[in-house]
Amino acid sequence: MNIFKIAKIVVFLFSLSYLSVFFFRNYNSPENIEKRCLLKFEKDFKIPLETSREEWVLILDFADKNYLKCMGIPQN
């Protein structure tokens, strides 16, 4: 193998590792975690209007627990 092929492989591996670190740092940023959790939280609210008050309270508790769990906040 000549040096040019080795250099291409090294540059490729370095670029791939840099991009993966950048992706995971961006993916796990607090803002992005909050956005993903809010989207999941909003999905729990897509409920028909004819639900009773008791069901609505249970659904809100469930959605709140899911949001806290998604954000990584410990629950009592």
**pLDDT at position 16:** 95
pTM of the model: 0.57
Give Cα 76 to chain centroid, integer Å: 23
Q: Digits of tens for pLDDT over the chain (76 positions)?
A: 689 999 999 999 999 999 999 999 988 888 888 888 888 777 766 666 677 878 878 888 888 888 888 878 777 6
**pLDDT at position 10:** 95
**pLDDT at position 57:** 82
